[in-house]
Structure 1
């Protein structure tokens, strides 16, 4: 496996996504945050600071998830539909390098997008003289990036063997159910139905537990788990991402073009 070839694919994917005007989302996010700043004093006079902290972090996640899902699911399919994959694969480029390069390229775009959105968010907080726990927000943002990297791997996995539309729907389903996986298990236990309990337990084991990488609520109040918990949850996110990429590579390697 050649890092140079992976870097070439990643750079090409990065430029391709940037050309799709994805970074226009930065302007949209700024407008939404300014609107929230304007409206919140009229809606919640006593808790507006906490609400704006929460709204800002939620906006960063939603816009980043939009990019990870809708762009990630089309990265492979676009190459197949344009038939450019027929040119790339016969060259001294392995399919593993192709998948990993796409993952790194889109991850790079999301890293820039999240850094820009977080800076704008912090500037607006400072300008509005709202006190905020900087360290907690930065840690929460870092783990959000790990969650989005995992989501990109999910999008690429579905994208290698389904259409873009179906891959998008499946990735969104994984995102929603992954964030609610613990609640799904709780519902199964409360139902006292053995079949439903087994189903919910199976879903919990198969689906990534994205709630382990979600620290938005803790960040708002400046409270984060212990370093051991952060380390184990971070390792969980990285491991699951690598596992999904390995499965995507295995499936992609068996496709005939």
Structure 2
């Protein structure tokens, strides 16, 4: 795999997505934060601060998720519809380089988007003098990024073998099931049917446990998991992302143009 070709594809994705005015989401986020600070009822100071912190992290996650899903699922299909994929594949470029470059480009854009929104969010917390540890917020933002990177990999996987609409629906379903997979594991311990219990356990093992990448609730209360737990969860997210990218490359390699 040629790193220069991967970087070139990533840069192209970054520039094209910027041209689509995706950074307007930052303006939307700033308006949401300003509205929250001004319009939320002035309840007890500590509760008010936690409401703003919870709303800010939820907005960062939601807006990043929109980009990861709706842009990610169209990265490959857009090239196919415009027929530019024929030119790219005809060049001395492997399909693995194509997929990895697309993923890295959107991941880079998400990192910039999240960094700007997090900075605005911290400014909002500073304006209301919220007593929430900076480190907890930053760790929550890092793990939001790890989750979104995983979602982009899933969007690419679905996008290489189906239409953008279906890929979007599949990715949304994976996101929802990923956050509910831990509940399925708990349900497997409650059902009496051993066969059904095994099915739930297999589903849990196959689906990503996205709750492992969710530090938002803990950050609102200023809590940070232990270093070993942080490292293990981050490693889990990265490994799952790599596996999804490998599957995307394998499926894309079998696709005929």
Both proteins in one fold, TM over 0.5: yes
Moved more, 106-115 or 199-208: 199-208
Per the normalisation by structure 1, the TM-score is 0.96
Q: Which runs of 5+ in 2 are unaligned?
A: none
The structure-2 alpha-carbon separation of the partners of 1:40 and 1:196, relative to structure 1 and needing over 3 Å to count, comes to: farther
For residues 128-177 of structure 1, what are the alpha-carbon distances to aligned partners after superposition, in whole Å with 9 as ceiling and x for unaligned? Answer: 22222100110111111111111100000000001000000010111111
- Give the Å deviation of 1:49: 1.0
Match of 1:86 in 2: 86
Match of 1:202 in 2: 202
Match of 2:221 in 1: 221
Match of 2:163 in 1: 163
Per the normalisation by structure 2, the TM-score is 0.96
Partner Cα distance (1:27, 1:78) in 2: 26
- Give the Å deviation of 1:188: 3.5
2:40 aligns to what SS in structure 1?
Answer: helix
Q: Which runs of 5+ in 1 are unaligned?
A: none
Moved more, 154-163 or 190-199: 190-199
8 Å Cα contact 2:49/2:128 also seen in 1: no
Match of 2:144 in 1: 144
Residue 175 in 1 paired to residue 175 in 2? yes
Q: How many residues align?
A: 256
Superposed CA RMSD in Å reads 1.2
For residues 22-171 of structure 1, the aligned pairs below 5 Å read 22-41=22-41, 44-45=43-44, 47-171=47-171
- Give the Å deviation of 1:217: 1.1
For residues 218-250 of structure 1, what are the alpha-carbon distances to aligned partners after superposition, in whole Å with 9 as ceiling and x for unaligned? Answer: 111111111111111111111111111011001
- Give the Å deviation of 1:192: 2.9
Moved over 4 A (4+): none
2:255 aligns to what SS in structure 1?
Answer: coil
2:225 aligns to what SS in structure 1?
Answer: coil
- Give the Å deviation of 1:45: 4.1
- Give the Å deviation of 1:37: 1.7
Match of 1:244 in 2: 244
- Give the Å deviation of 1:200: 1.7
- Give the Å deviation of 1:196: 3.4
Match of 1:16 in 2: 16
2:208 aligns to what SS in structure 1?
Answer: coil
